[in-house]
């Protein structure tokens, strides 16, 4: 816990880290909370101070595109929550993954993805990285033999989400990292849905952990942010490129993220408990065909989730039995507590039909290939009372 160790050899708990890690014990102006520093540039007392900064690598700010005092606090806090050496904060989750890919891949390189990844990540690779001569190979999620078979001497990075969105497939991190280690290829896991409360991929040997901090880490649907966490030496070239590309966050967003993190463990406990209870309710409902939630024994990756996850989070995907897209939309529209919106991981419950919200313009054959049927609903459970959410779903399904 940076700057706030109590001298004990026992590792600090999640909430203690979320509240205190990365912060100075005594702050500017003797304030309890960190200040919002609204400055585009930072002054030096004299020329020698500039030289000292450059030659001695002093830990201070120079220009806003390279860092902000509040940003450093949040980066240290996020690194501590993941048991990582360092973290780099970005303006969004997409800015974070773009930052990593642009820093790590050159023309002629190849990247291998498990195919249940965020459609915008897939789009960036297939439509934009390809313009610079980078080849993307997509492999059926959790098919480790196929992933290894797709590796060539040009492969530089293996990428997956875990759990995936919206199917909540859980990657066996030991098998995933073993492939990378044996083939000398770096690995990246987008653990947005898991959060560091439910799994810490770095402990399995993953090189880079990515989060859309917009989701559970910020937790209040009021900010955009992304973070990449790993070893300091591996992150250094990524941080340097961020300073050039300028994909930084604003001082106020940084403050909101730090404030949101204070209640991180408490929120995740509710998300986990509510997610499990609602998944069990949905699986028992006669109007539900199938539920995708790794906390259920019926989920194909339940055993992996039990082995490596503390809990399964608040995102649930389910299929409405014998429903076309209009009948499925009627269930979404009938919800009174959950709001219709994209995103996930906030205190408010959100509900959506992936066909409409994220895949509306995708050709039907592509939707089928990625497993997005017309009768699919995705629910992000907030921190409302569990029984109220269950009752709301019951009336929506029976409306």
For residue 228, give the CATH number of its domain: 3.40.640.10
What is the model's pLDDT at position 182?
A: 98
Q: Clarify whether residues 282 and 254 are in a common domain.
A: no
State the burial class of residue 325 (Cβ atoms within 10 Å of its Cβ: 0-12, 13-18, 19+). Answer: middle
What is the model's pLDDT at position 1?
A: 37
pLDDT digits (tens, 9 = 90+) for 147-176: 999 999 999 999 999 999 999 999 999 999
Max alpha carbon distance in the chain (Å)? 74
Q: Clarify whether residues 192 and 226 are in a common domain.
A: yes
DSSP letter assigned to residue 127: I
pLDDT digits (tens, 9 = 90+) for 93-150: 999 999 999 999 999 999 999 999 888 898 899 899 999 999 999 999 999 999 999 9
Q: Is 57 domain-assigned?
A: no
- For the cut 70, the answer to whether the pLDDT of residue 8 exceeds it is no
pLDDT digits (tens, 9 = 90+) for 216-274: 999 999 999 999 999 999 999 999 999 999 999 999 999 999 999 999 999 999 999 99
Of 210, 232, 261, which residue constitutes the final position of a domain? 261
Range of the domain at 168: 10-35+63-261
Q: How many residues does the chain have?
A: 399
- CATH no. for residue 380? 3.90.1150.10
pLDDT digits (tens, 9 = 90+) for 375-391: 999 999 999 999 999 99
Q: Clarify whether residues 239 and 288 are in a common domain.
A: no
Number of domains composing the chain: 2
Q: Which residues contact 145 (CB under 8 A, 6 or more apart)?
A: none
What is the model's pLDDT at position 370?
A: 81
Q: Is 315 domain-assigned?
A: yes
pLDDT digits (tens, 9 = 90+) for 263-303: 999 999 999 999 999 999 999 999 999 999 999 999 999 99
Of 226, 261, 296, which residue constitutes the final position of a domain? 261
pLDDT digits (tens, 9 = 90+) for 316-354: 999 999 999 999 999 999 999 999 999 999 999 999 999
Q: Clarify whether residues 249 and 317 are in a common domain.
A: no
Q: How many CA atoms lie within 13 A of 180 on its CB side?
A: 24
Of 233, 261, 289, which residue constitutes the final position of a domain? 261
Structural tokens at position 19: 């509240």
CB distance 75 to 289 below 8 Å: no
Q: Clarify whether residues 239 and 339 are in a common domain.
A: no
Q: Clarify whether residues 252 and 271 are in a common domain.
A: no
Q: Clarify whether residues 217 and 272 are in a common domain.
A: no
Between 251-261 and 69-82, two packed helices, what is the crossing angle to 10 degrees? Answer: 30
Q: Clarify whether residues 180 and 244 are in a common domain.
A: yes
How far apart CA 289 and CA 287 sit, in angstroms, is 7
pLDDT digits (tens, 9 = 90+) for 67-86: 999 999 999 999 999 999 99
Average pLDDT over the chain, rounded to whole?
A: 95
Q: Is 73 domain-assigned?
A: yes
């Amino acid at each position: 816990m940076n700057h706030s160790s109590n001298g004990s050899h026992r590792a600090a708990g999640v909430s203690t880290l979320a509240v205190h890690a990365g912060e100075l014990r005594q702050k500017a102006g003797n304030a309890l909370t960190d200040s919002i520093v609204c400055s585009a540039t930072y002054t030096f007392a004299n020329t020698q101070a500039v030289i000292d900064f450059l030659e001695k690598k002093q830990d201070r700010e120079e220009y806003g595109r390279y860092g902000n005092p509040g940003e450093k606090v949040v980066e240290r806090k996020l690194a501590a929550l993941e048991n990582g050496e360092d973290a780099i904060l970005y303006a969004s989750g997409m800015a974070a993954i773009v930052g990593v890919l642009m820093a790590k891949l050159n023309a002629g390189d190849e990247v291998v993805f498990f195919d249940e990844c965020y459609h915008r990540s897939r789009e960036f690779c297939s439509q934009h990285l390809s313009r610079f001569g980078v080849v993307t190979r997509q492999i059926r999620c959790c098919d480790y033999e196929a992933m290894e078979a797709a590796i060539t001497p040009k492969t530089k990075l293996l990428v997956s989400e875990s759990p995936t969105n919206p199917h909540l497939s859980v990657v066996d991190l030991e098998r995933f990292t073993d492939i990378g280690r044996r083939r000398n290829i770096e690995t990246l896991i987008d653990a947005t849905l898991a959060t560091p409360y439910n799994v810490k991929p770095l402990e399995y040997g993953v090189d880079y952990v990515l989060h859309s901090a917009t989701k559970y880490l910020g937790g209040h649907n009021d900010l955009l942010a992304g973070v990449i966490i790993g070893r300091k030496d591996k992150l250094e070239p990524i941080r340097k490129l961020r300073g050039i590309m300028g994909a930084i966050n604003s001082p106020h967003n940084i403050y909101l993220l730090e404030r949101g993190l204070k209640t991180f463990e408490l929120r995740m406990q509710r998300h986990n408990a509510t997610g499990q209870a609602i998944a069990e309710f949905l699986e028992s409902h006669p109007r539900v065909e199938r539920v995708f939630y790794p906390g259920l024994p019926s989920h194909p990756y339940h055993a992996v989730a039990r082995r490596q996850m503390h809990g399964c989070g608040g995102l649930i995907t389910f299929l409405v039995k014998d429903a076309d897209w209009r009948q499925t939309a009627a269930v979404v529209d009938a919800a009174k507590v959950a709001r219709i919106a994209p995103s996930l991981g906030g205190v408010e419950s959100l509900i959506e039909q992936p066909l409409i919200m994220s895949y509306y313009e995708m050709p039907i054959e592509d939707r089928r290939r990625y497993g997005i049927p017309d009768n699919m609903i995705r629910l992000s459970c907030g921190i409302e009372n569990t029984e109220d959410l269950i009752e709301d779903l019951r009336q929506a399904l029976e409306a």
